[in-house]
Amino acid sequence: MITATDTAVLCGAHEAACVKVYGAKPLHNEMCKEAGIRILIAYIARIAAGFNFGTQALLSISDKHYMRVFLRLQYGAKNAAASMKEMGLGAFCRHCYSFRFGGGPAPLISPKCPKCKGSSEAFGPLWLGRLQDKKFIETMIKLEDAPLVSQALEEPDTVMLFSIPHITEKLGFSSVSKYRVIELLRAEGYIATKTQFNKEGIKTDADIGEVIRAVKKARK
């Protein structure tokens, strides 16, 4: 179990410090907490790999002014190499709010968004693997049913959340209920839940286009 209390650094308020300490460029917006915890795990995994340990994320929590990750280290060069394959870079489009990811040690990500041709903000390196191990969390809940742990079990393990106020601001109207957006996405067959990483955000396996359609429908 590793805890980081320098959340301002991991969340991009002090970008130079994040580059210096974690060797990564942070994301400084409503999605920063999830990006920060992925940067933290990537940093740990790189160090562990140097000692021939592979890294598995079992539980990842962001609360108030700290981030905490529960990890399993497995010895062996193959395990270490497998962990490195879970690393990559991200790109966030400031115009259409879509994310892109490139895995591996040297991914190529175009500065232009393929969806809208707008400019993208690169961030990382970060952990692109899972943040939660459902079986591990179920075992923890049997011992103590803490709200944050239960929320981690509910969330789909997709990479990066969607901020509803961020999207509605771009669309030019006041924010809508995240619960209504979740309801509409579920009606379309997607997994959708609230998220611990942003009080007005959601986690879903739908893409940005489907989320925007649900937001517009919720507005009506």
Residue pLDDT, tens place only, 146-177: 888 888 989 998 999 999 998 999 889 888 99
How far apart, in Å, do the first and last CA atoms of the chain sit?
45
What is the pLDDT at residue 174?
A: 86
Nearest to 214 by CA among 174, 167, 172, 169: 167
Model pLDDT for residues 41-59, shown as the tens digit of each residue = 999 999 999 999 999 999 9
Kindly tell me the burial class for residue 154, based on how many C-beta atoms sit within 10 Å of its own C-beta (0-12, 13-18, 19 or more): middle
Checking if the pLDDT of 191 tops 90, the result is yes
Please give the mean pLDDT across all residues of the chain. Answer: 93
Specify the amino acid at residue 46.
R
Q: Which two tokens stand for residue 23?
A: 């060797």
Instruction: Report the alpha-carbon distance of residue 47 to residue 2 in Å, rounded.
Output: 13
Checking if the pLDDT of 30 tops 80, the result is yes
Sign of CA dihedral 122, 158, 58, 2: positive
Specify the amino acid at residue 162.
F
What is the pLDDT at residue 192?
A: 96
**Domains of the chain from N-terminus onward:** 2-144 (3.40.50.150), 161-220 (3.30.56.70)
What is the pLDDT at residue 40?
A: 98
What is the pLDDT at residue 205?
A: 94
Specify the amino acid at residue 73.
L
For the segment 83-106, the average pLDDT, to the nearest whole number, is 89
| Integer angstrom CA distances of residue 37 from 42, 51, 106, 173, 187 | 9, 22, 21, 30, 30
What is the pLDDT at residue 161?
A: 94
pTM over 0.85: yes
Instruction: Report the alpha-carbon distance of residue 37 to residue 90 in Å, rounded.
Output: 14
